[in-house]
């Protein structure tokens, strides 16, 4: 159904670049429904248990045109692009939409999706304050409402056995992808950062069983490689949409290798499994709470968890020589948290660079110049400390 090309990795890259094409083929082949989910914490296992294809709606590569009068320019590129896709009918392949996160800009974009289309939109909101006495009860209630809404949407009951099966399939997929990321941290350079991003991005789009099978094929077809003496970097940020592949390639073309990340289209998405030894809906609630411990997020409030401490621990564990922070322009949570992050990195002596990204316009030559300057600074420091 995925229309295989030269190899499994090529197929996964094609699907990552054209999610709508895959969703259209899946619906034609199965006769099933597809929903568009918005980043970052929608429990897709519930949709899968209902027989629905749940797809994290991706930023398109098209210039923003019709959407320019729907959201102001100080919304992030992802949300403005969502509004544009909705206005131009690009999201009509989905039979409904589900929102699970609290982000003012995303709420505005989903409002546009609702107004511009004729598809049902469910506005859910998982707790952003993770440590309050009522947090777990509120999360339990929201997971139950997701199940009820999806049962109404599909007209079928979502039983615990179906949900448990979906949880196992999703965990298998996450574990497989984590094994690839773990190999990268250990020194395996078989896949570039852009290729690894495609593995994760395609997972956000595809049926999980089909994706797992394709990833296994891609691993079998790949040639093992060991990283050389390139400067090792950690990429941090980009919570909702994927950095442009050409940006990732430009960073590595400068003489760097990405050994770790906390990107949404990377470690953040695959970081946390759902427990399989407790009642499924309760396990999904715990998964949501555990995700912010596994990879902390500035969109969540949890006083005993710090993103900057996590980042420093990750840098030490992977042996990264520096950090590049990728910040989507006008991403308010990231903008507010970044000064603390930079302060922690500087205090620990970790060279770092901020690259702000936008939907349209990627000044690659400027990016290369700034990345090369960072790498040169790291090399000078290494020589001085040798």
CA distance 168 to 32: 21
Q: What is the pLDDT of residue 386?
A: 73
pLDDT 10s digits, 175-198: 999 999 999 999 999 999 999 999
Per DSSP, the chain holds a count of helices (H) and strands (E) of 15, 8
Render pLDDT for 346-382 as a digit per residue (tens, 0 to 9): 999 999 999 999 988 888 999 999 999 999 999 998 8
Mean pLDDT score across all residues of the chain:
94
Report the distance separating Cα 93 and Cα 114, nearest Å. Answer: 14
- Closest by CA to 233, choosing from 262, 261, 200, 266, is 261
Q: What are the backbone angles phi and psi of residue 60, rounded to the nearest 5°?
A: -85, 170
Residue of 56, 100, 5 whose CA lies nearest to 202: 56
Q: Which two tokens stand for residue 341?
A: 């992050």
% of residues, the chain, pLDDT over 70:
98
State how far the Cα of 303 lies from the Cα of 178, in Å rounded to an integer. 27
Q: Any bridge partners for residue 237, and if so which?
A: 326
> Model confidence over 332-344: pLDDT tens digits?
999 999 999 999 9
3-state secondary structure 105-167: HHHHHHHHHHHHCCCCEEECCCCCECCCCCHHHHHHHHHHHHHHHHHHHHCCCCCHHHHHHHH
Q: Which CATH number fits domain 229-385: 3.40.50.11900, 3.40.640.10, 3.40.50.720, 3.30.70.580?
A: 3.40.50.11900
Q: pLDDT, tens digit, for every residue of 101-114? A: 878 899 999 999 99
Using alpha carbons, select from 331, 193, 324, 323 the residue that is nearest to residue 267.
193
pLDDT digits (tens, 9 = 90+) for 272-331: 999 999 999 999 999 999 999 999 998 999 988 999 999 999 999 999 999 999 999 999
DSSP string, 318-371: HT-SEEEEEEETT-HHHHHHHHHHHHHHHHTT--EEEEEE-SS---HHHHHHHH
d(CA 359, CA 243): 10
Burial status of residue 111 (CB atoms within 10 A of its CB: 0-12, 13-18, 19 or more): middle
CA distance 41 to 142: 12
Q: Is residue 344 packed enough to be buried (19+ CB in 10 Å), middle (13-18) or exposed (0-12)?
A: middle
**193: Cβ–Cβ under 8 A, 6 or more apart, which residues?**
235, 248, 251, 252, 258, 261
* 86 pLDDT more than 70: yes
Rounded CA gap, 230 and 228, in Å?
A: 6
């Amino acid at each position: 159904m995925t229309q295989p090309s030269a190899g499994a990795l090529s197929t996964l890259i094609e699907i990552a670049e054209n999610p709508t094409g895959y969703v259209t083929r899946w619906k034609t082949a199965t006769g099933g429904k597809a929903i568009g989910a918005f980043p970052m914490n929608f429990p897709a296992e519930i949709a899968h248990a209902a027989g629905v294809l749940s797809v994290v709606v991706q930023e398109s590569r098209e210039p923003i045109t019709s959407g320019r009068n729907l959201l102001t320019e100080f919304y992030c590129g992802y949300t403005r692009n969502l509004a544009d896709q909705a206005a131009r009918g690009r999201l009509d392949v989905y039979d409904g939409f589900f929102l699970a996160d609290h982000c003012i800009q995303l709420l505005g974009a989903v409002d546009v999706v609702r107004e511009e289309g004729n598809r049902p939109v469910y506005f859910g909101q998982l707790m952003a304050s993770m440590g309050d006495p009522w947090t777990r009860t509120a999360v339990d209630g929201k997971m139950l409402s997701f199940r009820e809404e999806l049962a109404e949407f599909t007209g079928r009951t979502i039983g615990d056995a179906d949900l448990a099966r979906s949880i196992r399939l999703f965990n298998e997929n996450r574990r497989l992808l984590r094994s690839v990321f773990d190999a990268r941290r250990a020194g395996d350079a078989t896949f570039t950062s852009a290729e690894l991003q495609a593995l994760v991005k395609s997972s956000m789009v595809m049926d999980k069983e089909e994706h797992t099978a394709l990833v296994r094929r891609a691993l079998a077809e790949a040639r093992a490689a060991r990283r050389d003496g390139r400067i090792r970097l950690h990429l941090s940020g980009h919570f909702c949409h994927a950095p442009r592949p050409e940006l990732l390639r430009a960073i590595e073309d400068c003489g760097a290798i990405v050994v770790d990340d906390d990107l949404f289209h990377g470690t953040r998405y695959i970081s946390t499994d759902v427990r399989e030894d407790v009642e499924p809906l309760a396990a999904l609630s715990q998964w949501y709470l555990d995700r912010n411990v596994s990879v902390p997020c500035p969109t969540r409030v949890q006083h005993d968890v710090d993103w900057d401490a996590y980042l420093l621990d990750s840098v030490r564990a992977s042996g990264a020589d520096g950090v590049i922070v990728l910040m989507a322009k006008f991403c308010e949570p990231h903008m507010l948290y970044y000064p603390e992050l930079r302060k922690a990195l500087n205090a620990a002596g970790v060279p770092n660079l901020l690259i702000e990204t936008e939907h349209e316009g990627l000044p690659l030559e400027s990016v290369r110049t700034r990345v090369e300057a960072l790498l040169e600074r790291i090399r000078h420091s290494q020589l001085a400390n040798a």
